[in-house]
Amino acid sequence: MSEEEEEDSDKVRRSATNSAASAPPFSDQVLENVLETVLQFISSPRDRNACSLVCRSWNRTESLTRQHLVVGNLYSVDPTRAVTRFPCIQSLSLKGRPRFADFGLFPPGWGAGFTAWAKALVDGLCAGLVKKLVLKRVTVSNSDLDLIGQRLPNFSELTLICCDGFGTPGLGALVENCKQLCVLDLIDSDIEDDNADDQALVDWISKFPKTHNCLESLSFECVPYPVNLGSLESLVARSTNLCRLRVNPHISIGQLCRLMLRAPQLTHLGTGVFCSPMNEDEEVEVEEVEAVFGSMKALICLSGFRDLKAELLPAIYPVCGQLTSLNMSYTEISAEQLKPLIRHCHNLQIFWALDTIGDEGLKAVASTCKDLRELRVFPLDPTEESEGSVSDLGLIYISEGCRKLQSILYFCQRMTNAAVISMSVNCPDLTIFRLCIMGRHKPDHSTGDPMDEGFSAIVMNCKKLRRLAVSGLLTDQAFGQFGKYGKTIRTLSIAFGGDSDLALKHVLEGCCNLQKLEIRDSPFGDAGLLAGIGHFYNMRFVWLNSCRLTVRGCREVARSLPHMVVEVIGDPFIGSPKLEDDEPVDKLYMYRSLAGPRDDAPQFVKIL
């Protein structure tokens, strides 16, 4: 590789010296200049990846001009190598653990630390250019945050989703040093101080310099500690560009109103709680809150409501008509409480709620929110024996009323094939269909049939389907349909489904665009796994939990595919998993990597 590079650079030098003699520039160089200019307009990572595969010079040019780097699995490449190949990146997006880690299926200490990447960024050529970091399911330490704040001079946007490993010291260090910080979004992250008594907590809000006024977005809903209200108020007041503010539950509604009055330009608001505080002297009335909301002319996204005093709900009526996104998924409201609210929300595109709204509530949503694109209905009682307040009826209402639906996540206990088929027919734009029938192996509750027909209909009729999560009683036949028709599926989640290896085989052989496969508690063994050997290199990861794999099968995969990192994850309390051929494998996580097996694997992880 180096020889050819030298040749190229020789050519460039020669052309440079010759240019004075008015000879036409070498076509190579012209092409590269043109390419650079053209590539500026190409931003999608997939397109960029495609460009980089054309030829060597395209690869080089693309690498030099790439501004946004997305690494779907941070173990798939060595950080230094990534940063060296793309020296001009301005933004980096990393994902660490796979989604199942959110549900306790990954033992703590498994990995996905950010430190190596932080070091690579600050030491790399891109250090002066990097502005934005988006991390998902990554463990970030306080010193990582400190490093970023101090050594990346142009850093301005940090988004941490489902991350952990840091606390208020890291936040304090970041905001103190990062002069241009304009986005600090901490979403669903586990933030914990090692020593959490009040004296040791860092008052990170106060660490924003008094001159700092460029903040555009601040989300700290998941920070479990109180913040200095005075500092927050003054920060909000001087940040005239602030358009997104999401506070934590330590801020009372009265305090929130005062913040809102300082920032009438807000477009996104997270209320934290929505009730009166314990201390009497801060109590507010509906009219007062309503008046404040009435002044928020730009508000389009509302969330929070973690502790709702129902009488205060009418206070948000003034903004309902302008909302495009409403997240009430932390609060129990009934259909009766929802109806007067949702009646005004005719512009709503995203709606998240608890199933306490019931089928009636969903009917109300369906009759008003004709523009709905995304719906998520979470269970109040997330256990298998729960009553479940929404059912197939709710799904039918939504399918009939919200024809533009693109994404749905629906937790229920009772479902029918007919309802799912109805959705598949009425909502052809569906790209994400996630149905979780909470009781294991539940069939269609009215016919007793497996849920094959319904899910098959989704795969057949929704031509844009990218993400599918299945549940309920499913036979191999259903998976056959997935394999046959699910050509656009990129992410597939299976739980307690299928009868045999055949199901897995169908999926691995049929779903040619499959990138992410997560399976739990399904009767799939080595034979099924091995059926995917021809496809695994195209995938980001495969995760199998409590299926019927043995070490022999996993080893076979590792042997056939040298670039796959095949991790057998054991129990940290038991120690290293045994690796005799016939040993069952409870957790298998495998992914393609250019970096080879990682060196930070803990003792309970064995890489075959």
Residue type, 151: R
Q: Residue 155 or 433: which CB sits closer to other proteins?
A: 433
| Of the candidate residues 174, 308, 362, 408, the single one contacting other proteins (CB under 8 A) | 308
User: Rounded to the nearest whole angstrom, what is the least distance from the CB of residue 271 to other proteins in the complex?
Assistant: 14
| Of the candidate residues 183, 223, 257, 569, the single one contacting other proteins (CB under 8 A) | 257
Within 224-243, the residues that bind other proteins by CB under 8 A are 233-234, 237-238
* Segment near other proteins (CB under 8 A); pick from 61-69, 166-174, 255-263, 317-325: 255-263
| Of the candidate residues 63, 367, 426, 477, the single one contacting other proteins (CB under 8 A) | 477
| Of the candidate residues 51, 120, 130, 354, the single one contacting other proteins (CB under 8 A) | 354
DSSP codes joined into one string, 292-358: HHHT-TT--EEE--SSB-GGGGGGGHHHHTT-SEEEETTS---HHHHHHHHTT-TT--EEEEEGGGH
Strands of 11-112 (E only): list them.
68-71, 91-95
Q: What are phi and psi of 83, to 5 degrees?
A: -70, -30
104 binds other proteins (CB under 8 A): yes
User: Rounded to the nearest whole angstrom, what is the least distance from the CB of residue 24 to other proteins in the complex?
Assistant: 54
Within 539-568, the residues that bind other proteins by CB under 8 A are 545-546, 548, 550
| Of the candidate residues 6, 10, 282, 581, the single one contacting other proteins (CB under 8 A) | 282
545 sits in which H/E element: strand 541-550
Q: What are phi and psi of 569, to 5 degrees?
A: -105, 125
The 435-454 contact track toward other proteins, x by CB under 8 A, reads -x-xxxxxx-xxxx------
Within 287-306, the residues that bind other proteins by CB under 8 A are 287-289, 291-292
Separation CA 133–CA 144 (nearest Å)? 12
Residue 312 contacts residue 253 (beta carbons within 8 Å): yes
Q: What are phi and psi of 222, to 5 degrees?
A: -90, 5
Kindly report the CA angle at 71 between 68 and 75, in degrees rounded to 5?
150
Separation CA 182–CA 156 (nearest Å)? 5
3 binds other proteins (CB under 8 A): no
Q: Which two tokens stand for residue 558?
A: 């590792």
Q: Residue 337 or 431: which CB sits closer to other proteins?
A: 337
Number of residues binding to other proteins, judged by CB under 8 A: 107
Alpha-carbon separation of residue 36 from 6, 29, 30, 83 (angstroms): 20, 10, 10, 19
Q: Residue 216 or 288: which CB sits closer to other proteins?
A: 288
Within 314-353, the residues that bind other proteins by CB under 8 A are 314, 329-334, 336-337, 340
203 binds other proteins (CB under 8 A): no
User: Rounded to the nearest whole angstrom, what is the least distance from the CB of residue 109 to other proteins in the complex?
Assistant: 17
222 binds other proteins (CB under 8 A): yes
* Segment near other proteins (CB under 8 A); pick from 74-82, 253-261, 396-404, 419-427: 253-261
Within 484-543, the residues that bind other proteins by CB under 8 A are 484, 495-496, 499-502, 506, 509-510, 520-521, 523, 525-527
Q: Residue 197 or 385: which CB sits closer to other proteins?
A: 385
| Of the candidate residues 105, 364, 457, 511, the single one contacting other proteins (CB under 8 A) | 105
Separation CA 321–CA 325 (nearest Å)? 11
Separation CA 469–CA 446 (nearest Å)? 22
| Of the candidate residues 68, 586, 597, 602, the single one contacting other proteins (CB under 8 A) | 586
258 binds other proteins (CB under 8 A): yes
The 8-47 contact track toward other proteins, x by CB under 8 A, reads ----------------------------------------
* Segment near other proteins (CB under 8 A); pick from 420-428, 535-543, 584-592, 595-603: 584-592
* Segment near other proteins (CB under 8 A); pick from 9-17, 71-79, 114-122, 258-266: 258-266
Separation CA 597–CA 565 (nearest Å)? 6
| Of the candidate residues 199, 280, 562, 599, the single one contacting other proteins (CB under 8 A) | 280
Within 366-385, the residues that bind other proteins by CB under 8 A are 378-385
Within 120-139, the residues that bind other proteins by CB under 8 A are none
Residue 442 contacts residue 473 (beta carbons within 8 Å): yes
Beta bridge partners of 585: 549
- Residue 315's closest CA among 341, 345, 286, 275? 286
Beta bridge partners of 468: 433, 492
Residue 122 contacts residue 143 (beta carbons within 8 Å): no
Within 399-438, the residues that bind other proteins by CB under 8 A are 411, 413, 436, 438
User: Rounded to the nearest whole angstrom, what is the least distance from the CB of residue 441 to other proteins in the complex?
Assistant: 3
| Of the candidate residues 35, 345, 377, 473, the single one contacting other proteins (CB under 8 A) | 473
Task: Render the burial of 351-389: b for 16+ CB within 10 Å, e for the rest.
Answer: bbbbbbbbbbbbbbbbebbebbbbbbbbbbbeeeeeebb
The widest CA-to-CA distance across the chain, in whole angstroms, is 85
180 binds other proteins (CB under 8 A): no
Task: Please count the CA atoms within 13 angstroms of the CA of 104 that sit on its side-chain side.
Answer: 0
- Residue 134's closest CA among 166, 155, 158, 151? 158
Separation CA 379–CA 389 (nearest Å)? 8
| Of the candidate residues 5, 584, 596, 603, the single one contacting other proteins (CB under 8 A) | 584
364 binds other proteins (CB under 8 A): no
494 sits in which H/E element: strand 491-495
Q: Residue 82 or 191: which CB sits closer to other proteins?
A: 191
